[in-house]
Amino acid sequence: MSQEQGWAAPRAEGPVSGRITVPGSKSISNRALILAAIADGPSHLTGLLAARDTTLMRTALTSLGVAIADTGSTVTVTPGSLKGPASVDCGLAGTVMRFVPPVAALADGVVEFDGDEYARERPMGVILDALRALGVQIEDGGTGRMPYSVSGTGSVRGGTVTLDASGSSQFVSALLLAGARYDEGVDIRHDGKPVPSQPHLDMSVAMLRERGVQVDDSEPNRWVVAPGPIRALDSAIEPDLSNAAPFLAAAVLTGGEVTVTGWPEHTTQPGGQLPEIFTRFGAEASWTPDGLTVRGTGRVTGADLDLSQVGELSPVIAAVAAFADGPSYLRGIAHLRNHETDRLAALENEFNALGGDVTQTADGLEIRPKPLQGGLFATYHDHRMAHAAAVVGLLVDGLLIENIGTTAKTLPAFPELWSGLVS
C-alpha cells in the first residue's frame, strides 16, 4: 500500500531500548497559558509544548487581547484588557473549547467559538449552562454544542453553581481556572456520577495555589475559589507523561528498556501512574536522576484496571493488553466516548478489524488477546489512536497507520521520535 493509505509502522526487530525526551505537557501548557493570560503581570514559560492544541490556545488568547511572544525557548505572556469581537478556533482541543469560554466571559464583547467537525459532537452544555448560572450570556442555538458565542461585559458575577461533571473533569477545571477573576469567585458543586480524571483536577488546583489563589477542595465534589488576583509566575512545564506512554509500552512489549528523561519526582499528571500500570502488566520500573526507566521482562500479563482517573492513557494501555498472556479488563472509562472520538468504539473496531477480540462494555473494554494481522488502522483524528496503532505495529507485520499527522495535536514529532527509538 502507498504512503497515502497509511504510515508504515516500524516493526520491532528485537527488544526496543533507548532514551527519549518528550516535549511539554499539553494539560500543564494550556493551563499555564490560561492562568498567565489573566494574571496580574507578565509570566515567562519555558518548556511550553508547541503542538496543535497549544497553538490553538495561544491564538485564542491572542485574539482576546493577550500578548504572547517567543524569545528563544521562553514564551512571555503579557495580559491585556480582554476584548471582543473575536472568533476562536478550538480545533478538537477539549482544553480550548472548555477552558477558554470562562475567560472569554471576562472580555468586553462577543466571542464566537467553533472547531473541527467532530468537536461539534463533544459535550459542552454542562459548562455553558454553568456559565449562564454564573451570570454570563451565551448563545448555542439550544444545542449544548459548538458553535456557540459568549457575550461578555468585562466582568462576571460568579458565585455558586451546581453541575454534573461526570462526563468530563474539564467542566470543573474550566471554572476553577477563571473563577478567581469573577466578582464573587466561584463555588462549584458536582452532583452526579463520579467525576473522572482526578489528577487533572489536582493539576488545576495546584497550579492555582502556586499562583496565590485560595482554593478549598476539602469537601468531596465541591471546589471553592476565592475572588482575587492570579499572581504572574515564571514556570517550567513538565514533560508530557501521557505522551511518554507509547515509548514505555514499546519496552514492555518487546522486553526492552526505555528511559524517559526528566520524569518529575512529583506530578499531578495522570501519566505519573504509568510505572504502576506497566508493572501490573509484568514490567519493571525504576527511577534514576536521568528519568524513569521501564524494562520489559519478556512476560506480559493480562490486567484488570480501573482507568477512570487516567482515561487518556487507555488507548495505549489497550494496545499493550492486546498482546498479554490473558484477558484484560479496562474499567471506569465510559467518558472516553466523548473524547477526540468515541474511543471505546474506535478501539473495538480497529482491533477487531485486525482479527482481535475486543468488546465494549458499559464502562470500558474487555480485551482477549489473539494473533493480529496487518492492515490499515484508522485513527479518527485521535492522536492517542495513532499512538496505540504504533504500539501494535511493533509486533504485527504490515500495520499501516491512517493519518499519522493527527499526532500533531500534542506531539508533532511523534513519527520521527518513534522511528528513531524503534529502528
Of the candidate residues 29, 170, 254, 341, the single one contacting ligand S3P (CB under 6 A):
170
How is residue 83 annotated by DSSP?
Answer: B
Interaction residues for ligand S3P, span 50-109 (CB under 6 A): 94-95
Residues 6+ apart with CB under 8 A from 355: 370, 371, 372, 373
Identify the sign of the CA torsion 133, 137, 142, 147: negative
Asked if 94 is part of the footprint of ligand PEP (rule: CB under 6 A), the reply reads: yes
Residue labelled with grid coordinates 444545542: 143
Interaction residues for ligand S3P, span 20-39 (CB under 6 A): 27
Which lies closer to ligand S3P via its Cβ, residue 173 or residue 259?
173
Interaction residues for ligand PEP, span 287-346 (CB under 6 A): 312, 339-340
Whether 317 and 367 have beta carbons less than 8 Å apart is answered as no
166 annotated ligand-binding residue: no
- Spot the catalytic one: 257, 312, 340, 350: 312
Of the candidate residues 102, 123, 185, 311, the single one contacting ligand S3P (CB under 6 A):
311
Residue labelled with grid coordinates 531500548: 17
Asked if 239 is part of the footprint of ligand S3P (rule: CB under 6 A), the reply reads: no
Whether 325 and 296 have beta carbons less than 8 Å apart is answered as no
Whether 150 and 131 have beta carbons less than 8 Å apart is answered as yes
Report the partner that residue 343 touches, choosing among ligand S3P, ligand PEP, none (CB closer than 5 to 8 A by kind): none
Which lies closer to ligand S3P via its Cβ, residue 149 or residue 170?
170
31 annotated ligand-binding residue: yes
Which lies closer to ligand PEP via its Cβ, residue 12 or residue 207?
207
Which lies closer to ligand PEP via its Cβ, residue 10 or residue 364?
364
The DSSP annotation for 200-213 comes to HHHHHHHHHHHTT-
50-79 as b/e: b if 16+ CB within 10 A: ebbbbbbbbebbebbbbebeeeeeebebeb
Whether 335 and 311 have beta carbons less than 8 Å apart is answered as yes
To ligand PEP, the closest distance from the beta carbon of 15 in angstroms equals: 28
Asked if 93 is part of the footprint of ligand PEP (rule: CB under 6 A), the reply reads: yes
**Is 312 annotated in the active site?**
yes
Catalytic residues, which ones?
312
Residues that bind ligand S3P (CB under 6 A): 27, 94-95, 168-170, 173, 196-197, 200, 311-312, 335
Binding site, annotated residues for 3-phosphoshikimate: 26-27, 31, 168-170, 197, 312, 339
